[in-house]
Structure 1
Amino acid sequence: MRNLTLRQFKTVQAIVSHGKIVSAAKVLGLSPPAVTIQLRQVEEEVQLALFDRTSDGMRPTAAGLAFVEAAQAIEERLRLLEDEMDAIKGVRTGSLRLGVVSTAKYFAPRLMAGFMKEHPDIDMRLAVGNRAETIDSLKNHDIDIALMGRPPKEVSVRASVFGDHPLVVIAPPEHPLASARDISKQRIAEEHFLIREPGSGTRISLEIFLSDVPGRIDDLGVEMGSNETIKQAVMAGLGIAFISAHTIAAETEAGRLVILDVVGMPIRRQWFSVMRTDHVISPAMATFNDFLMRKGATYLPLFGKLYPYAEASEAARMQKMGAPGKRPE
């Protein structure tokens, strides 16, 4: 094993990523025979086949996957070493690859801007994806820290809470339930829902909420691929949706969407900062995580008026009680 080189690790990674010797060779800037020779040398060194040669291309074996996992860890450690060397030279204080689930894209840019203002020498990159894509990025060492609503179970992680995450039901302002108060779970379950793909955090929370309504989660609603599509569909009158309150600040403020007053809502979840337990914590990662713990919640959209109708009614009632000549009954 000690005779393996970094070039050989990169070669195996390229074959896994592209599935074919020819494609890997093109990316590496080598000839296909040169890639084949390097792969043969690696397999002779480890005394195991790293790939099954099939008509569809190169399929990694269990040994191949283990080899790539080691290659990714080495690449990660080398990047950390580069950051440390740059810090010693005074060039910059590191780099950070941040991954966020799609719901977090509504506040992540402002959060990044706040952090980079305090730490301009840290180079940051942002990757946005759905929950499954973000977890895959963690698994593959493609990101250092992920921001998500629920820590994954598929990979061992450290998770820290940095803010509240309210989930609400939204409708167009002309919806019959828009001005209703204390809508029951049974009543809201009768509505036509627009939902995210299986495995998304909001969908799982909706399934839990409606699980005690007989037969309701068997036909949950119409799937749509993004929060933006769902919001547009709700505004067009195609149904209602269960969604993160942090995605609808602009639409509710403009009066294009309303939050329905459903009993038991908003459902309060939390935002987590997540990193792999086997990931060496770089100075940049530690600095960003400390920033999140201190200031992360201040960059989340504020929802002091989750239910404006109810608050207006309460304000009117209090004003009436306090008006001259009026006595509370």
Structure 2
Amino acid sequence: MHYTLHQLQVFLKIAQLQSITKASEALNLTQPAVSIQLRNFQDQFPIPLTEVVGRKLYITDFGHEIAETCEKIINELQLINYKTLSFQGQLSGRLRISIVSTAKYMMPYFLTEFVQRHPGIELIIDVTNKSSVIESLEANEIDFAMVSVLPEKLKVHRVELMENRLHLVSSSKLDVKAFRTKTDLLEKVPMIFRESGSATRKAMEDFLSKRGVSVKTKMALTSNEAVKQAVLANLGVSVMPLIGIKNELKNNDLQIIPLRGLPIITTWNLIWLSAKNLSPIALAYLDFLNTKKDEIMKKQFHWVEAYKDI
């Protein structure tokens, strides 16, 4: 067999996109060029890699096996490239990450040392809502996304980082003891929600639904910071991520209201498309993250342990 790296790359892209047309667009090649590379690659195997049914291209079971091997080979070659560049201190280019607004309280800590090691890197972070994060990921506009709830319709790989703990929070000015029960509090004090589509909002709605709580007064705000400011102003209570209220708790401006069923615990995940060919910079960052994440969590987020029994 005498297949080339280029043939491996072309076939992998065809297998990922299940289309010669889409593969040619993704690789900036003409359709005839992609077709020729596919044919030359296929000629080296006695078993079909693809089949056409009703004018649609399908990858055979054998083809999927070969595609997985192609991906491993290409990733290993990229690994050699990035390790060489990293050793020489020459990593450069863009690292693009999209994160939900709550993640801005923790994501920078997982980037600082990596960026300091590689000053030639241009870091682009888009802080937005969950829907926009997933749209950017699906459109292949970014390298990574940071979410606490995995997208249901996308095939992704992930690195688990730290827990995302959601507590019921109010201004310290609110007299919790003035209410007969916690359910009484939830029904009488305005509830402050995130916008529709937010993972925090869904977690909050699911929690209230399970408790059978009927919220009479509520408001919706489009960022975690806006929710925090509204709670600080004693406009109502909300279920908020612990990592976003460290200073307010320390200064006694906010209080956590203990409640059965809380905190809601999810996990922060750095995710990327399973079909994506990661750049040397992205591969280097994954290597850094897998090596350093536990150390970073212990150093930067040890304070959350004090609230684990609430």
Same-fold call, TM cutoff 0.5: yes
- Do the aligned residues in 2 keep the contact of 1:259 with 1:307 (CA within 8 Å)? no
Rg larger in structure: 1
Shift of residue 300, structure 1, vs aligned partner:
4.2
2:98 aligns to what SS in structure 1? strand
- Paired with 2:275 and 2:219, the residues of 1 have a C-alpha distance of 39
- Do the aligned residues in 1 keep the contact of 2:186 with 2:213 (CA within 8 Å)? no
Deviations 1:283-314 (A, max 9, x none): 32222223333325344473233289x7xxxx
Equivalent in the alignment of 2:289: 292
Q: Percent identity of the aligned residues?
A: 25
AA in 1 matched with 2:102:
T
Q: Which moved more, 1:243-252 or 1:289-298?
A: 289-298
Shift of residue 234, structure 1, vs aligned partner:
0.9
Shift of residue 281, structure 1, vs aligned partner:
2.5
Equivalent in the alignment of 1:196: 194
Cα distance change on mapping 1:307 and 1:301 into 2, 3 Å: closer
Query: What pairs up with 1:1-329 in 2 under 5 angstroms?
Result: 71=25, 87=85, 92-94=90-92, 95-177=94-176, 184=182, 187-214=185-212, 216=214, 221-293=218-290, 294-295=292-293, 297-298=297-298, 299-300=300-301, 302-306=303-307
Deviations 1:116-146 (A, max 9, x none): 1244444322111110111111011111011
- Do the aligned residues in 2 keep the contact of 1:173 with 1:258 (CA within 8 Å)? yes
AA in 1 matched with 2:219:
V
- Do the aligned residues in 1 keep the contact of 2:90 with 2:118 (CA within 8 Å)? no
AA in 1 matched with 2:205:
E
Deviations 1:21-78 (A, max 9, x none): xxxxxxxxxxxxxxxxxxxxxxxxxxxxxxxxxxxxxxxxxxxxx9789645659x9x
The RMSD of aligned alpha carbons is 3.6
Task: Could you tell me which runs of 5 or more consecutive residues in structure 2 were left unpaired when the two chains were aligned.
Answer: 1-19, 30-73
1:258 aligns to what SS in structure 2? strand
Shift of residue 255, structure 1, vs aligned partner:
1.6
- Do the aligned residues in 2 keep the contact of 1:99 with 1:126 (CA within 8 Å)? yes
Equivalent in the alignment of 2:61: none
Cα distance change on mapping 1:87 and 1:304 into 2, 3 Å: closer
**Greater relative contact order (Cα 8 A, min sep 6): structure 1 or 2?**
2
- Do the aligned residues in 2 keep the contact of 1:260 with 1:307 (CA within 8 Å)? no
- Do the aligned residues in 2 keep the contact of 1:171 with 1:240 (CA within 8 Å)? yes
Shift of residue 201, structure 1, vs aligned partner:
0.9
TM-score, length-normalised on structure 1? 0.62
TM-score, length-normalised on structure 2? 0.65
- Paired with 2:175 and 2:117, the residues of 1 have a C-alpha distance of 47
Equivalent in the alignment of 1:20: none
